[in-house]
C-alpha cells in the first residue's frame, strides 16, 4: 500500500482540511457518541471518494486505491484468525489457566504494588488482553487495596502498567500482531525488538513500585484464594499444560514463520486438552471458531477464561480493512504525500523521524482516543520515511507500540481510559502519574532514537540476510 502512487496533487490547505474533518468526525463519534470506530471510518471513506470524484478522479481509480489499501492488511487478517484459534485452544488445553494460577502464587505480604505489577504482567501476557486483565484480576487487587487502606491511585497505576506490558509483549495480543503486520515484520522478531525499550521500562517500573510499596501485612487474601480455588475447580491446572507454550518458544527461537508457529502451538494445545477433557471433534471445531466458554459458575473466573476463536477477531479484522482502505484513498489522492512533503526537510535525520512518528501516535491517541487507529495511521504515514533514512521496519513497529498501544490508557476520553476508570473506580488523572510503564515506554523509544542505540538499519538486515 505504501507504494501507491498519487493520481492528483491536492493543495496543502485542501489536504489539511480533509484530515482535520476526518479526525474531527472520528473523534466526535468515538468520544461523544460512543460509536465503534468502524462507522466514522466508513463515512470518512465516503468523504474521500466524494472529494476524489469532485477532482475528476475516476471511480475505478478510487476503487483501486481502496483495494490496494485493504490488500496491505491481508497478512494481518490471516494472522488474526490464527491468534483467535490459539487463544481458544490455549484456554481449552489449560495453558492460560495454569499461567494465571502460577501468577497468583507470587502474591506475598511484602512489596504489594510491585507484585501487583508482576502478576498483572503475567496475566496480560497469558491472555493477550489488557482490558480483560484489568476487569478481572485488576478488580481483585483494587478490592485488596481498599481493605488494606492502600493508595488506590498507585494500585491502579500498577494494574494498568502490568496489563499493558502484557498486552504489548504477548503474541496473543491483537495490537502486537497489528503493529508487526502493518509494516511487514515477523511477529516474534517484532516482540524481540521491543525488548530493547520494554525491558528497561519494565525494570524501572518494578523498582518504582517496589520503592512505593509500604510494609503491610497481607491479611486480606480471600480474593486471591477465591481466584486460585476457582482455577483449580476447572480441572485444567496441570504441569503438562505449558507444553503449547514451550512449543511456541522453541519454534520462535528456530525462527519459524509466525503463522506456522501459531498453528503448530494451537494443534499441540488441542492434543493436550484431551488429557483432562474428552471433547468431541465437532466441539473442538466449534471452540476454535466461536471461542472457549468457561462454565465454572464463578463469574470472574468465567470472564477470565472465556474467549478466543476466529469469530472474536472479526471486529479487529473489519477495523483493519476499513482503516487500511481509508489509508489507500489518502495515498491515492496524494493527501499523505502532500502533508509529509511540508515537513520533509524536518524528517531527514533518524532521530527526527522517530520523534515525529512517536508524536503522531501519541497525537492520534489524544485527538481520536483509539489505539488501533494510532497504530494503523502512524504505520501508514511513516513507513516510507523510515525507509528513506535507512531504518528497518521493525523500528517503526516498535515505536507504534511504545507510543501508541500503551499511551491510550493515559487519555481520559480514550476507549481504554474510559473503560479502566469505569471498572476500577479510579479516574485516569489519578492513576496516570503512577502508570510508570506506560509513561516510560514513549520516553525511552524517543531517547533511543536520539542516541541511535538499539536501532536496526536496512543495511544491517541485508548483511544478516
Place of cell 508482576: 118
d(CA 426, CA 157): 10
pLDDT at 1: 44
- Residues 66/45, Cβ–Cβ less than 8 Å: yes
Chunked mean pLDDT (size 10), the chain, 465 residues: 74 92 87 84 94 94 90 77 87 86 74 90 84 77 74 94 93 86 88 94 95 69 75 87 88 81 91 85 92 83 83 83 86 86 77 91 81 83 87 93 92 81 85 96 94 83 54
Domain ranges of the chain: 75-313
The sign one gets for the Cα dihedral 450, 456, 458, 459 is positive
d(CA 456, CA 461): 7
CA atoms within 13 A of residue 26's CA, in its CB half-sphere? 30
DSSP structural state of residue 7: S
d(CA 282, CA 125): 29
d(CA 320, CA 314): 10
- Residues 293/92, Cβ–Cβ less than 8 Å: no
229-260 pLDDT, tens digit per residue, is 888 888 888 989 989 988 988 887 787 887 88
pLDDT at 235: 84
Nine cell digits for residue 16: 489539511
How many C-beta neighbours within 10 Å does residue 342 have?
Answer: 11
pLDDT at 175: 86
Biggest CA-to-CA distance, the chain: 73
The residues, ordered by sequence, that sit 6+ positions from 59 with a Cβ below 8 Å of its Cβ are 49, 53
pTM of this prediction? 0.74
pLDDT at 437: 97
d(CA 359, CA 122): 29
pLDDT at 409: 92
330-381 pLDDT, tens digit per residue, is 889 998 888 877 776 677 788 889 999 999 899 888 877 778 878 888 887 8
**Which H/E stretch holds residue 17?**
helix 12-31
Cα-flanking dihedrals φ and ψ of residue 5, to 5°? -95, 140
pLDDT at 109: 62
The residues, ordered by sequence, that sit 6+ positions from 54 with a Cβ below 8 Å of its Cβ are none
Amino acid at each position: 500500500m505504501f507504494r501507491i502512487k498519487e493520481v492528483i496533487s491536492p493543495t496543502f490547505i485542501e489536504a489539511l482540511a480533509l484530515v482535520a474533518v476526518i479526525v474531527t468526525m472520528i473523534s466526535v463519534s468515538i468520544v461523544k457518541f460512543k460509536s465503534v470506530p468502524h462507522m466514522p471510518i466508513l463515512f470518512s471513506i465516503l468523504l474521500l471518494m466524494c472529494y476524489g470524484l469532485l477532482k475528476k478522479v475516476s471511480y475505478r481509480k478510487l476503487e483501486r486505491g481502496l483495494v490496494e489499501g485493504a490488500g496491505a492488511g491481508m497478512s494481518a487478517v490471516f494472522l488474526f484468525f490464527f491468534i483467535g484459534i490459539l487463544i481458544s485452544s490455549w484456554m481449552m488445553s489449560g495453558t492460560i489457566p495454569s499461567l494465571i494460577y502460577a501468577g497468583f502464587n507470587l502474591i506475598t505480604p511484602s512489596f504489594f504494588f510491585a507484585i501487583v505489577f508482576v502478576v498483572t504482567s503475567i496475566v496480560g501476557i497469558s491472555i493477550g488482553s489488557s482490558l480483560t486483565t484489568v476487569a478481572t484480576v485488576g478488580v481483585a487487587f483494587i478490592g485488596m487495596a481498599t481493605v488494606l487502606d492502600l493508595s488506590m491511585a498507585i494500585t491502579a497505576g500498577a494494574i494498568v502498567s502490568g496489563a499493558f506490558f502484557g498486552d504489548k509483549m504477548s503474541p496473543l495480543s491483537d495490537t502486537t500482531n497489528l503493529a508487526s503486520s502493518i509494516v511487514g515484520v515477523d511477529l516474534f522478531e517484532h516482540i524481540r525488538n521491543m525488548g530493547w525499550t520494554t525491558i528497561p521500562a519494565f525494570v524501572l517500573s518494578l523498582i518504582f513500585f517496589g520503592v512505593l510499596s509500604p510494609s503491610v501485612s497481607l491479611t486480606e487474601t480471600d480474593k486471591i484464594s477465591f481466584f486460585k480455588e476457582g482455577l483449580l475447580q476447572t480441572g485444567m491446572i496441570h504441569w503438562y499444560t505449558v507444553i503449547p507454550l514451550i512449543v511456541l518458544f522453541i519454534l520462535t527461537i528456530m525462527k519459524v514463520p509466525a503463522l506456522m508457529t501459531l498453528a503448530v502451538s494451537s494443534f499441540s494445545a488441542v492434543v493436550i486438552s484431551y488429557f483432562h477433557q474428552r471433547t468431541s471433534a465437532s466441539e473442538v471445531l466449534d471452540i476454535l471458531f466461536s471461542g472457549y466458554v468457561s462454565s465454572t459458575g464463578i463469574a470472574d473466573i468465567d470472564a477470565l477464561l472465556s474467549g478466543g476463536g476466529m469469530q472474536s477477531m472479526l471486529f479487529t479484522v473489519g477495523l483493519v480493512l476499513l482503516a487500511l482502505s481509508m489509508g489507500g484513498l489518502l495515498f491515492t489522492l496524494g493527501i499523505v504525500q502532500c502533508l509529509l512533503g511540508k515537513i520533509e526537510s524536518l524528517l531527514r535525520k533518524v532521530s527526527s523521524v522517530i520523534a515525529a512518528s512517536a508524536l503522531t501516535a501519541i497525537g492520534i491517541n489524544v485527538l481520536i482516543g483509539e489505539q488501533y487507529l494510532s497504530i494503523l495511521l502512524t504505520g501508514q504515514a511513516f513507513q516510507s520515511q523510515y525507509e528513506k533514512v535507512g531504518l528497518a521496519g521493525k523500528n517503526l513497529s516498535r515505536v507504534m507500540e511504545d507510543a501508541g498501544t500503551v499511551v491510550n490508557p493515559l487519555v481520559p476520553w480514550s476507549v481504554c481510559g474510559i473503560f479502566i476508570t469505569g471498572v476500577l473506580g479510579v479516574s485516569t488523572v489519578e492513576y496516570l502519574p503512577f502508570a510508570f510503564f506506560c509513561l516510560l515506554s514513549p520516553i525511552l523509544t524517543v531517547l533511543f532514537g536520539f542516541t541511535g542505540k538499539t536501532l536496526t538499519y536496512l543495511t544491517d538486515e541485508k548483511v544478516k540476510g
